[in-house]
Chain A
């Protein structure tokens, strides 16, 4: 699914990466625990999170995650927006809760995969 579709499905506001919305993602990962993101994400995903600090962007950068959605209407600080721009990331916010944001994306066709198999 293209990030431009995600913007539409989540009625999201774009804070960084306006010129990269053509990016295709295979799946999504909804998590507030960055340790879990590092332990489970395998493929190209969009990260949905309610956590807002530089570690989110740093974790995403290390995991080659190029698009982040902050849920529950959280507004990123100018510092975070700048880090995202410097790292070439797409930063979105949506007023939907984590549950509804994930549900809407799933319903729109963004399904599972993207994480390693959990035994």
Chain B
């Protein structure tokens, strides 16, 4: 099963809708509640990153009997130093974004905490792809 959703740039009335949609879909498919929540959190963080930093992009979700794969792609400025971006508290978000309750520098670390596997490919001035993998049959605290 495949699903492709677009994530608009700086549209905060829309940001988070793709994740909410995926969360509802996965719950309807009977996937365990804790796993659904982990997927929703990780995807929402990615969605906000694309809306805030990435200039908009797409979320492609692929569901197989064993895995949920989520590819979050944007054509934004890219991440020059992924190691630094993975540091809790590090953020390049503007004051405006912080006033909305985001930009705390918890996004990528939170995605890592919630996903079973996380892969980031980023090229400066070309964009970023974040690949989140969730195992359907493996228990995680």
Q: Give how many A residues have a beta carbon under 8 Å from the other chain's beta carbons.
A: 19
- Find chain B residues with CB under 8 A from A35 CB: 45, 101-107, 110
- Find chain A residues with CB under 8 A from B130 CB: none
- Find chain B residues with CB under 8 A from A64 CB: 37
Q: How far is the CA of A52 from the CA of B60 in the complex (A)?
A: 30
- Residue pair B104, A55 in contact (C-beta under 8 Å): no
User: Assuming the A-B contacts A32-B101, A35-B105, A36-B106, are A55 and B41 also in contact, with contact meaning beta carbons closer than 8 angstroms in the complex?
Assistant: no
Over the window 25-65 of chain B, the binary record of Cβ atoms lying under 8 Å from chain A Cβ atoms (1 yes, 0 no) is 00000000000010011001100000000000000000000
Q: How far is the CA of A33 from the CA of B107 in the complex (A)?
A: 12
- What residue in chain A is nearest B102 (Cβ atoms)? A35
Counting CB contacts under 8 A, is A104 at the interface? Answer: no
Majority secondary structure, A binding face = helix
- What residue in chain A is nearest B13 (Cβ atoms)? A54
Counting CB contacts under 8 A, is A11 at the interface? Answer: no
- Residue pair A51, B101 in contact (C-beta under 8 Å): yes
- Residue pair A39, B106 in contact (C-beta under 8 Å): yes
Further pairs besides A49-B101, A58-B16: 19, Cβ < 8 Å: A32-B101, A33-B106, A34-B100, A34-B101, A34-B102, A35-B104, A35-B105, A35-B110, A38-B41, A38-B106, A38-B110, A39-B113, A53-B100, A54-B13, A55-B100, A55-B101, A59-B16, A63-B37, A64-B37
State the Cβ distance, A29 to closest chain B Cβ, in Å: 13
Counting CB contacts under 8 A, is B82 at the interface? Answer: no
Most buried by B among A32, A35, A55, A61: A35
Over the window 21-52 of chain A, the binary record of Cβ atoms lying under 8 Å from chain B Cβ atoms (1 yes, 0 no) is 00000000000111110110000000001010
- Residue pair A62, B106 in contact (C-beta under 8 Å): no
State the Cβ distance, A87 to closest chain B Cβ, in Å: 9
- What residue in chain B is nearest A50 (Cβ atoms)? B101
State the Cβ distance, B16 to closest chain A Cβ, in Å: 4
- Find chain B residues with CB under 8 A from A38 CB: 41, 44-45, 106, 110
State the Cβ distance, A53 to closest chain B Cβ, in Å: 6
- Residue pair A53, B101 in contact (C-beta under 8 Å): yes
State the Cβ distance, B32 to closest chain A Cβ, in Å: 13
- Find chain A residues with CB under 8 A from B104 CB: 33, 35-36, 39
- Find chain A residues with CB under 8 A from B107 CB: 35
